[in-house]
Amino acid sequence: MAALCPAPTPFPSNSTIHRRFAIQAKSNPEAPAIETLGYAALDAAANQLAQELRTRGASRGHFVAVARRLSADVAIAWLAVLKCGAAYLPIDPDLPAERIAFMLADARVEHVVADATLASRFARPGLQVICPERDAAHIAAGEAGAPPDDAGPDDPAYVIYTSGSTGTPKGVVVPHRAVMRLVCDTDYVQIRPDDVVAQLANPAFDASTFEFWGPLLNGARIVPIGKTTAVDPRALASTLARERVSTLFITTALFNAVARDAPDAFRGCRAVLFGGEAVEPRWVHAVRTAGAPERLLHVYGPTETTTFATWHEVDELALNAATVPIGRPIANTLVSVLRADREPAAPGEPGEIWIGGPGVALGYLARPDLTAERFVEDPSNAVPRGIWYRTGDRARSSDDGAVEFLGRVDHQIKLRGHRVELGEIEAAIARMPQVREAVVSVVGDTSDSRQIVAHVVRADPTVPPPANVYSELRRTLPDYMLPATIVWLPALPLNASGKIDRRALEVPDAVATRRGGVPTPPRDMLEEVLLRIWQELLGDNEIGVLDHFFDVGGHSLLAARLVDAIEQQTGVAIPLTAMFTDDTVAGLAAALREGAPNGGAPILSFNEGKEGPAFVFLHGDFTGGGFYSRALVQALGPDQPVLLVHPHGLVDASVPDTIEAMAAERIEALRKLRPHGPYVVGGHCNGAFVAFEMARRLIEQGERVPAVIVIEARAPGGVGPGEASSERGSWVTFDASGAPRVVTARDRQSDFWLRYLRAMDRYAGHPAPVHLVVVRSRELHDARKDLGWSTLAASVEVHEVPGNHTTLITRHLGELAKVVRGAIERAAQRQASRG
């Protein structure tokens, strides 16, 4: 079988992922690996967890599910699973419960490594759940060092589930050797110990294989980038520059968005890889014109061939180019473009891409029929294991051998980086008793406009379309697979051959069901302005103010553009996170009017009735309405009572002139919700001043305040982020990416900011008999370890969290929550010991 194939290059084909990592950890133990962990620390943490897994029975031949949100925790868990001889199954916690249950059953999972906040989702007979934080003491007491290593290069390393055309997901089983071929001693990219590699992908998607193992098996550093930053082009550009990211993979859809709004974002990178769906050459031109990275690589590869199979370096591109080639095979990979008779297609002749080599997966888990269909034996043994993978992708090769992608031979699509089998959506709809048959298609020409549309025939045409279609589909399908619109037809159109005529599916008079429901008209001028912005961006005039953005064709990339458009037309900025709190026009209008979607209440109560000291938290955030605080509440857990306090001016009609008056008013509101302590009082930024003053006054009033937690705030009299210089009419604040900037009074539309900041300037503070917990970001420049608070408290402890003034409460929220949770627990213990 003729194939495109670069000359074979040596790579550690007989090693395994964890052995290769151990070599890196031994040779450079103190080198930074991920977040705060160096290589030796990451290795040690993985060894401890691996010993725990072995003790509980996980070993070679097992699949261990991993549901962890923080990237560092994911790295530890994956390494631990491999070290105990098993293979990992990455779980996206946001998937529907039924879909997760299917994967666990299909892979016969007996062990899950999960965050404590996710553990309850996996509570079922026969499933052991290990929570590293909850079980930390027990894990630490186990044996040191790695367990006996009996895994081989052909053993499974992981299984990733992809959409299935038969209606159920299918698990792709990838061996260690395939990963080694992807990232070790290859030709398309060279990752060195001095590289910084961005980690953007959901761990449950195969791009994460490159993002984690590329750096960790080559001694480089991983920089995790959270979703809200990743989908905001300007914030992403700032992060790439600040973290000095040298290498990253980015989906084509996200690449297009960055190219549109921040085309010079990749200027400082050494290698930028993009792929995942058909590329629009105009956005490649935009990046190359604004400031391209040293190397811009268009990559291609199905999950079944371990992330990447081909690459094309875009060093030149004709202005009228219709596409960008996917190029030639990466090292130790074979690619053939074959006709239907399995003979090589001539240059320029369309055919199907077949891929061979050590990167080919072992097959589909427990699906011998599908495996035999797609993983085809080659009697000539031209490839290792004698197996070729039939991709189902159409392509043609040019005279110089470069491959050009043409589309699919079936109904599989790529939608903003997600692999979607339209047949799985059709099967999910057809399972509903009210449905006779369904056909699903995709409309729209660009990554922004593409939407899934379902054409459905009712089982009983005399009965109106059911109202529960979307609620039923959400039980089994992830959000990105839900149709934007369902068109109800009396019958599906057929062509002369009796087959469904897909070109005739658009029926103007058909009854349609939108994910957003019946449109509700705007009720005031602001909603009308916002609704017009939505309609223009989404190209849909049938949207109402109560429709959810993510239910009417919106997605995270468009959300970033929407926030920018709102700021341009209203003059007011709202955080991108607002879109993930209430993604309706009405909700955004409320956020713009009030700064928060909570009806003007100064204090919100969460987890009422739980035992222990309440955490009274003053978020201090004007521009964002404290949206991150909701995430902090969730991170602290369902058993921690929290009283979330808004700063004056955000939901109040006026701002008192002094911090003392603010504290007095908030104490009055606090006692209406929780008359007596104990209270652990905390505050971030400007909220810390009011928090400290509230604590001092509560103690004077005889209440118990076992701790005060001040986050990223200098003591009264200091000059810090969002604090001083208000008497001069300006102050320092931070934008969404964490970059500092000077803001003047004339930049604000009201004077409440200036009133609040003047009150802070005048506040001197008075000593109080409290235990103070100071939490500061790693990037805060202040030689005083305690930020000046020691003179005001009986005792002080200091903690440092990664990030800066903004990112410590967004991207590093998990680490912040650990510190806060620990401080509250110690406060409770001190309170208990005092009786």
Confidence class for position 468, pLDDT limits 50, 70, 90: confident
- The one-letter amino acid code at 191 reads I
Clarify whether residues 357 and 489 are in a common domain.
no
Which three-class secondary structure state does DSSP give residue 688? helix
Q: What is the pLDDT of residues 338-353, one digit of tens each?
A: 998 888 899 889 999 9
Among the listed residues 322, 337, 308, 305, the one whose alpha carbon sits nearest the alpha carbon of residue 402: 337
What is the mean predicted confidence (pLDDT) over 272-286?
87
* Gyration radius of the chain's alpha carbons: 28
Residue 458: which pLDDT band, with cuts at 50, 70 and 90?
confident
**Most distant CA pair in the chain: distance in Å?**
88
DSSP output for 314-334:
-S---TT-S----BEEPTT-E
Condensed to tens digits (0 to 9), the pLDDT of residues 780-793 reads 888 899 999 999 99
CATH number of the CATH domain containing 727: 3.40.50.1820
Helices (H), 190-342: 207-216, 227-230, 233-242, 252-261, 281-291
Range with lowest mean pLDDT among 151-155, 535-539, 608-612, 623-627: 623-627
Amino acid occupying residue 113? V
Q: What is the pLDDT of residue 320?
A: 75
Rama region for 286: left / alpha / beta (φ>0; ψ in -120 to 50; rest): alpha
Say what the pLDDT of residue 740 is. Answer: 38
pLDDT at 733: 41
The pLDDT of residue 506: 64
Q: What is the mean pLDDT of residues 69-88?
A: 97
Same domain, 546 and 571: yes
- Burial grade of 137 (CB within 10 A; 0-12, 13-18, 19 or more): exposed
Residue 835 — very low, low, confident or very high, per pLDDT cuts 50/70/90? low
- Asked if 506 and 640 sit in the same domain, the reply is no
> Residue 646 has what DSSP assignment?
P
* Whether residue 509 is found in the same domain as residue 548: no
State which of 101, 121, 151 marks the end of a domain: 151
**Tokens standing for residue 477:** 């399908």
Question: What is the token pair recorded at 676?
Answer: 């007596």
**pLDDT beyond 70 at 173:** yes
State pLDDT tens for residues 578-591.
Answer: 776 778 888 888 77
Q: Which candidate, 365, 43, 306, places its Cα nearest to that of 183? A: 306
Range ranked top by mean pLDDT from 97-106, 608-617, 642-651: 97-106
Q: What is the DSSP letter of 627?
A: H
Q: Is 763 left (phi over 0), alpha (psi -120 to 50) or beta?
A: beta
* Residue 161 maps to a domain: no
Q: Out of 225-229, 262-266, 666-670, 752-756, pick the least confident.
A: 752-756
The side-by-side arrangement of strands in the sheet containing 485-489 is 435-443, 451-458, 485-489, 511-514
Whether 181 is in a domain gets the answer: yes
Residue 790 three-state SS: helix
Total of domains in the chain = 5
272 - beta bridge partners? 248, 296
Q: Find the range with the poorest average confidence among 517-521, 759-763, 818-822.
A: 517-521
| ∠ CA 49-53-59, rounded to 5° | 130
Structural domain span for residue 737: 610-833
> Considering only 55-59, 547-551, 577-581, 739-743, which range has the smallest mean pLDDT?
739-743
Range from 272-286, 467-481, 511-525 that averages highest in pLDDT: 272-286
User: What CATH number does the domain containing 293 carry?
Assistant: 3.40.50.12780
Residue 599 falls within a domain, yes or no?
no
Q: Measured between alpha carbons, how far is 633 from 682 in angstroms, rounded to an integer?
A: 13
Residues 228 and 347 in one domain: yes
Provide CB contacts within 8 A for 480, sequence distance 6+: 415, 416, 418, 420, 555
Residue 444 lies inside a defined structural domain of this protein: yes
Total Cβ atoms within 10 A of residue 222: 23
Q: Which helix (H) or strand (E) holds 307?
A: none
Share of the chain above pLDDT 90, in %: 45
Q: Which residues contact 282 (CB under 8 A, 6 or more apart)?
A: none
Q: Work out the burial of residue 548: count CB atoms within 10 Å of its CB; fewer than 13 is exposed, 13-18 middle, 19 or more buried.
A: middle
**Residue 81 has what pLDDT?**
98
Same domain, 457 and 385: no
Q: How confident is the model at residue 753 (pLDDT cuts 50, 70, 90)?
A: low
Question: Could you write out the three-class secondary structure of 176-194?
Answer: HHHHHHHHCCCCCCCCCCC
Q: Rounded distance, CA 26 to CA 30, Å?
A: 9
What is the pTM for the complete model shown?
0.64
Helix axes 659-673, 687-700, angle to 10 degrees: 70
Residue 298 lies in a domain: yes
Query: What's 476's domain CATH number?
Result: 3.30.300.30
Mean pLDDT of 373-387: 77
Using the predicted structure, report yes or no on whether residue 748 has a pLDDT greater than 50: no
Residue 660 and residue 799 in one domain: yes
pLDDT digits (tens, 9 = 90+) for 684-733: 988 899 999 999 999 999 999 999 999 999 898 744 333 333 333 334 44
* pLDDT surpasses 60 at 510: no
Contacts of 294 (CB under 8 A, 6+ apart): 269, 270, 271
Position 559 in a domain: yes
What was the pLDDT predicted at 738?
Answer: 37
Residue 194, pLDDT > 50, answer yes
Q: Is 750 exposed, middle or buried (0-12, 13-18, 19+ CB in 10 A)?
A: exposed
pLDDT above 60 (res 250): yes
More confident of the two residues 56 and 516: 56
DSSP state of 29: T
Out of 464, 479, 514, pick the residue that ends a domain.
514
Q: Are residues 262 and 391 in the same domain?
A: yes
Are residues 478 and 341 located together in one domain of the fold? no
% pLDDT > 70, the chain: 86
- Last-in-domain residue among 343, 376, 410: 410
**Residue 720: per-residue pLDDT:** 37
pLDDT single digits (tens) 288-344: 999 899 999 999 999 999 999 999 999 888 777 778 899 999 999 999 999 988 888
DSSP 368-431: HHHHHHHEEE-TT--SGGGEEEEEEEEEEE-TTS-EEEEEESSSEEEETTEEEEHHHHHHHHHT
Q: What local confidence, expressed as pLDDT, does residue 572 receive?
A: 61
Residues 622, 729: one domain? Answer: yes
Q: Answer yes or no: are the C-beta atoms of 82 and 157 closer than 8 Å.
A: yes
Q: Verify that 628 and 742 share a domain, yes or no.
A: yes
Would residue 160 count as lying in a domain? no
Report which of 212, 224, 177, 173 is spatially closest to residue 46, judged by C-alpha positions: 212
At 597 the pLDDT is 38
Q: Tell me the mean pLDDT in the region 415-419.
A: 72
DSSP class of 465? P
489 pLDDT more than 90: no
User: Between 22 and 9, whose confidence is greater?
Assistant: 22
**Residue (of 409, 361, 378) closest to 162 by Cα position:** 361
Structure tokens at 249: 């993979």
* DSSP state at residue 154: T
The distance of Cα 44 from the centroid of its chain, to the nearest Å, equals 26
Residue 653 Cα distances to 90, 462, 649, 650, angstroms:
48, 55, 6, 8
Per-residue confidence band for 457, with pLDDT thresholds at 50, 70 and 90: confident
91-95, 425-429, 590-594: range with highest mean pLDDT: 91-95
Residue 604 is assigned to a structural domain of this protein: no
58 by DSSP, 3-state: which? coil
HSE-CB at 107 with a 13 A cutoff on CA atoms is 32
**Per the omega criterion (within 30 degrees of 0), is the bond before 464 cis?**
no
Pair 704, 716 in one domain: yes
